[in-house]
C-alpha cells in the first residue's frame, strides 16, 4: 500500500514537471548536438539564476513590507518654514544619535552657507533705497546719496571685501545643490544624494559620488579659510548701529529667520568649528518634494525598532502631493507656528496663521485620516514671546482677538481654542485633541517631547490592535 502511494506521488511529480513551462522550454530536443546541449544547459542555468534573483527580490520586498507594517509611520505636515525639518532632526537626535553624529560634518558646511546667506541678505537690505530715496551704500556724487557720510564709505568697503565670500557661496551652491537654490536659501531635491556631496558616507553611496566629494573638498577648505579672513568684517557689519537701524526701520527681524547664525560669527568662522546639536537643528535647507526617512532606533529600550517619518514640502503649490501619503500614516504631526503678524513668503497677501488654520481644517475633515492620530505642535513659541514683548498687538492683525490681554498665555489659549474647535467640529469621528507648545530649535524640551509623542503613538496603536 505504501509502495503504491509513493509510486502515485512520484508519478504526480513527474507530470507536474512535464507540464512546467520553465522545464518544457529547456527540454532536450531530438538529435541534439553536443554544442547545442552546452548552449541549452547554459541558458537553463542563466534562467535559473534569474529566477532565483526574482524570488529573492520578492522575498526581500515582502520582508520590507512586513517590517513597514510593524513600524511606526509618521507624516509631518505644515506650511513652508513651519519647523518640520527641525522636528525631524529632534527625532533623529532622540532615537538615532549615532547616525546623527555621522552627518555632523555635512551640517557644518550648511551652517557656514546659512551664515553667508544672512550676510548677503544684510547687504541687500542696506543697498535698498529707503523711503527718502537714499541708500547706505549708494556711491558718492549720486543724487540723494550720503556722499559725505563715512558710514557710506565704510559699508561700501565691507561690501567690497566680502564680495569673494559671496561669490564662493554662489559657486558652491551651484556645484552642490539644485538649480532652484537662491541667494537667500539652500534648496535640494528630495531623494537626491546632496549629503554625500558634502562628505556623508553610507553603504548606498557610490564610488562616483565619493570621488566627486573628494574633488569638492578643496572648495570646502577654501570656504573655511575665506570665512576666517572675513570674520571681523561680518561681525562689524552685523553689529553696526546703522545696520540695526535699517533693519528696524524696515521691521525686519533676522533673528526669527530660519538658518540665522549672525550672533555666532566668532565661533562658526573658526577653522576648528564643529557644529553643536543645537546648530544642526537650527540649520536651514529647503527640500522640494516628498522625502521619507527610515529610522532604525538605536536607544536601548527600543533598539532595532523601525519608524518612518515622511516629510512633505509645505509650499502651497506642492500640497496636492500630500494625499497619497494619508492612507499609510498612523499619526500626523502638524506644525502650526503662532506667527500672527507674518505673511506667506510665496503669497504676501496671505497671513501665515490663517493659512495654517485653513490647512488644519482640510486635514481634520479628510475622511482618509478618520482613524489617524493628529497631533498639533504650536511651534516657535520663542518668536511669539519676543513679538509680544516688543509691543506688537494681536488685535492689529487678528481683529477678532479684541481687547484680550496681549500676553503669551492668553494669545496661545485663543489660537489653541480655534484649532480645537475646528478639530471637534470637522473630524469625521470623535477623537482626542492632542496639542503641545514648543520651540523646535530648543533641543532639550523638543527631544523630550518627541519621545513622549512617539511612545503615545505606539501605545495608541497597540490599543487599537487589542494588544493591551
**H helices present in 71-186, as ranges:** 84-95, 97-102, 104-127, 150-176
Largest Cα span, the chain: 117
Is 379 part of any known ligand binding site? yes
What's the distance, Cα to Cα, between the start and end of the chain in Å? 53
Count CB-CB contacts under 10 A for residue 234. Answer: 24
The owner of cell 546719496 is 145
Is 351 part of any known ligand binding site? no
Q: How far apart are CA 385 and CA 363, in angstroms?
A: 27
- Would you state the torsion angle of the CA atoms of residues 199, 200, 205, 206, taken in this order, to the nearest 10 degrees? 10
In 3-state terms, the chain is what percent helix, strand and coil (to 5)? 60, 10, 30
The H helix count followed by the E strand count for the chain is: 17, 8
Across 153-289, the runs of DSSP E, i.e. the strands, are 187-189, 286-288
**H helices present in 314-380, as ranges:** 352-365
Is 381 part of any known ligand binding site? yes
Q: How far apart are CA 394 and CA 411, in angstroms?
A: 8
Dig out the grid coordinates for 382 from the structure.
520663542
Q: How far apart are CA 381 and CA 409, in angstroms?
A: 11
Q: How far apart are CA 322 and CA 312, in angstroms?
A: 7
Residue pair 416/435 in contact by the 8 Å Cβ criterion: yes
Q: How far apart are CA 361 and CA 350, in angstroms?
A: 16
Across 24-106, the runs of DSSP E, i.e. the strands, are 72-77
Paired sense of beta strands 331-335 and 72-77, if any: parallel
Count CB-CB contacts under 10 A for residue 81. Answer: 22
Is 366 part of any known ligand binding site? no
Residue pair 107/275 in contact by the 8 Å Cβ criterion: yes
The owner of cell 539652500 is 186
Q: How far apart are CA 418 and CA 424, in angstroms?
A: 10
Is 193 part of any known ligand binding site? no
Q: How far apart are CA 64 and CA 308, in angstroms?
A: 12
Is 215 part of any known ligand binding site? no
Sequence-distant (≥ 6) Cβ neighbours of residue 103 within 8 angstroms: 195, 200, 280
Is 246 part of any known ligand binding site? no
Q: How far apart are CA 39 and CA 28, in angstroms?
A: 11
Is 435 part of any known ligand binding site? no
Residues forming the annotated binding site for GTP? 256-257, 379-382, 440
Q: Which residues are annotated as a binding site?
A: 256-257, 287, 379-382, 440
Q: Which residues are annotated as a binding site for Mg(2+)?
A: 287
Amino acid at each position: 500500500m505504501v509502495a503504491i502511494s509513493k509510486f502515485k506521488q512520484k508519478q504526480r511529480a513527474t507530470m507536474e514537471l512535464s507540464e512546467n513551462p520553465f522545464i518544457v522550454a529547456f527540454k532536450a530536443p531530438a538529435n541534439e548536438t553536443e554544442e547545442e546541449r552546452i548552449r541549452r544547459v547554459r541558458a537553463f542555468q542563466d534562467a535559473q539564476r534569474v529566477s532565483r534573483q526574482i524570488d529573492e527580490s520578492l522575498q526581500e520586498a515582502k520582508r520590507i513590507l512586513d517590517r513597514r507594517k510593524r513600524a511606526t509611520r509618521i507624516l509631518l505636515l505644515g506650511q513652508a518654514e513651519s519647523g518640520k525639518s527641525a522636528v525631524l532632526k529632534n527625532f533623529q537626535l532622540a532615537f538615532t544619535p549615532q547616525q546623527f553624529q555621522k552627518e555632523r560634518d555635512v551640517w557644518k558646511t550648511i551652517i557656514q552657507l546659512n551664515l553667508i546667506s544672512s550676510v548677503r541678505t544684510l547687504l541687500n537690505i542696506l543697498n535698498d533705497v529707503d523711503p527718502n530715496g537714499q541708500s547706505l551704500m549708494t556711491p558718492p556724487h549720486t543724487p540723494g546719496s550720503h556722499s559725505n557720510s563715512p558710514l557710506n564709505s565704510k559699508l561700501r568697503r565691507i561690501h567690497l571685501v566680502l564680495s569673494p565670500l559671496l561669490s564662493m557661496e554662489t559657486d558652491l551652491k551651484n556645484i552642490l545643490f539644485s538649480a532652484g537654490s537662491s541667494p537667500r536659501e539652500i534648496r535640494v531635491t528630495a531623494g537626491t544624494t546632496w549629503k554625500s556631496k558634502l562628505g556623508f558616507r553610507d553603504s548606498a553611496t557610490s564610488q562616483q559620488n565619493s570621488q566627486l566629494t573628494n574633488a569638492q573638498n578643496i572648495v570646502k577648505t577654501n570656504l573655511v579659510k575665506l570665512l576666517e579672513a572675513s570674520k571681523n568684517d561680518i561681525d562689524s557689519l552685523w553689529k553696526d548701529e546703522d545696520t540695526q537701524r535699517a533693519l528696524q526701520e524696515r521691521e525686519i527681524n533676522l533673528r526669527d529667520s530660519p538658518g540665522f547664525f549672525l550672533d555666532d560669527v566668532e565661533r562658526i568662522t573658526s577653522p576648528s568649528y564643529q557644529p553643536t546639536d543645537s546648530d544642526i537643528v537650527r540649520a536651514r535647507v529647503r527640500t522640494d518634494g516628498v522625502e521619507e526617512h527610515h529610522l532604525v532606533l538605536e536607544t536601548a529600550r527600543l533598539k532595532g525598532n523601525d519608524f518612518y517619518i515622511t516629510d512633505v514640502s509645505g509650499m502651497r503649490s506642492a500640497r496636492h502631493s500630500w494625499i497619497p501619503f494619508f492612507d499609510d500614516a498612523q499619526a500626523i504631526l502638524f506644525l502650526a507656528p503662532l506667527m500672527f503678524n507674518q505673511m506667506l513668503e510665496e503669497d504676501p497677501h496671505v497671513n501665515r496663521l490663517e493659512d495654517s488654520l485653513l490647512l488644519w481644517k482640510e486635514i481634520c475633515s479628510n475622511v482618509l485620516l478618520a482613524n489617524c492620530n493628529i497631533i498639533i505642535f504650536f511651534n516657535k513659541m520663542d518668536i511669539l514671546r519676543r513679538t509680544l514683548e516688543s509691543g506688537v498687538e494681536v488685535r492689529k492683525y487678528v481683529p477678532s482677538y479684541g481687547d484680550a490681554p496681549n500676553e503669551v498665555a492668553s494669545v496661545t489659549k485663543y489660537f489653541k481654542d480655534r484649532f480645537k474647535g475646528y478639530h471637534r467640529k470637522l473630524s469625521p469621528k470623535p477623537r482626542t485633541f492632542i496639542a503641545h507648545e514648543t520651540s523646535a530649535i530648543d533641543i532639550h524640551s523638543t527631544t523630550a517631547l518627541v519621545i513622549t509623542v512617539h511612545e503615545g503613538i505606539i501605545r495608541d496603536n497597540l490599543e487599537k490592535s487589542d494588544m493591551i
